[in-house]
Amino acid sequence: MSSDRSQILNGIRRSLQRGELSGAARQAVESRLATPPRGPSVARAQLPQAEKVALFCQWAETLNATVARVGSAEVPGEVTAYLMRNNLPASVAMAPSPLLEGYDWSSQQMLSIRRGRGEGSDQVSVTGAFAGIAETGTVVMASGPDHPVSLNLLPDTHVVVLREADIVGGYEDVWGRLRARYGKDRMPRTVNTITGPSRTGDIEQAMELGAHGPRRMHILVVHE
């Protein structure tokens, strides 16, 4: 620990009348950091996996997202069909993700794909998701070279490809998965939890979609 940091922390301890950090107290802190305790879990999401998937879809739709349950081979076709159903341009900004590259996008000859981060002119983005949370219908996005954060925020329409196997019961399951995948010292710079399209009720308590991000969210729940 740097001397400056140590001085600041010791000052905080003195103000709390705790004194210097003893060997036993330091060991207790280090043990807690090494094996973080699990927080409480919501009972409604403690279900078999198939029921977690169904609960996730139910909550996502309740919160103004649309959901399509598809097989792996159907993913590119469903993206194109969704754009057609909503009179959207057949042009998307896609995350450069190995997960997404595993689908046969070449089968959609009318679909134009640009891979990379989001830009102000993009109307539709397509991304994967780190996880889905059954208890609230939330999708979790971990930033990185394969998932620029701007794709979650800039386009008016966000299409999310989420594997059934990545749907978990609650938030505590997500933190465990993040620690397991990235390690305690290598967490993503940004973890976004997104529940339905962007919205606000600040103005006259009238709900307005698209206030701070996409006004439409379409989630493809993929059985693989």
Q: How does residue 123 score in pLDDT terms, banded at 50, 70 and 90?
A: very high
pLDDT given for residue 136 in this prediction: 95
What stretches of 16-48 show up as alpha helix (H) in DSSP? 23-34
Mind listing the pLDDT tens digit for each residue in 41-97?
788 889 999 999 999 999 999 999 999 999 999 999 999 999 999 999 999 999 999
Tell me what the mean pLDDT of segment 117-130 comes to: 95
pLDDT given for residue 224 in this prediction: 81
DSSP helix/strand/coil, 220:
strand
pLDDT given for residue 204 in this prediction: 65
Tell me what the mean pLDDT of segment 201-210 comes to: 61
Domain boundaries, position 17: 3-34
- 153 and 120 share one domain: yes
Stronger pLDDT, 217 or 1, i.e. the higher one = 217
Written as six digits, the tokens of 155 are 């386009």
Q: Does the pLDDT value for residue 210 go beyond 70?
A: no
Q: Does the pLDDT value for residue 32 go beyond 90?
A: no
Tell me what the mean pLDDT of segment 188-209 comes to: 77
Written as six digits, the tokens of 92 are 């998307």
pLDDT given for residue 51 in this prediction: 96
DSSP helix/strand/coil, 84:
helix
E strands, 149-197, in order: 157-163, 167-168, 191-194
Q: In CATH, what number is assigned to the domain containing residue 185?
A: 3.40.50.10420
Mind listing the pLDDT tens digit for each residue in 143-184?
999 999 999 999 999 999 999 999 999 999 999 899 889 987
- 23 and 112 share one domain: no
- 197 and 135 share one domain: yes
Tell me what the mean pLDDT of segment 93-113 comes to: 96
Give the integer Cα–Cα distance in Å for 221 and 134: 12
Stronger pLDDT, 1 or 19, i.e. the higher one = 19
- 26 and 94 share one domain: no
DSSP helix/strand/coil, 69:
strand
Which one of 16-30, 118-132, 182-196 scores highest in mean pLDDT?
Answer: 118-132
Q: How does residue 206 score in pLDDT terms, banded at 50, 70 and 90?
A: low
- 8 and 74 share one domain: no
pLDDT given for residue 220 in this prediction: 98
Q: How much is the mean pLDDT over the chain?
A: 89
- 112 and 92 share one domain: yes
* Domains: count for the chain: 2
- 30 and 103 share one domain: no
- 101 and 175 share one domain: yes
Give the integer Cα–Cα distance in Å for 76 and 183: 33
- 11 and 105 share one domain: no
- 30 and 90 share one domain: no
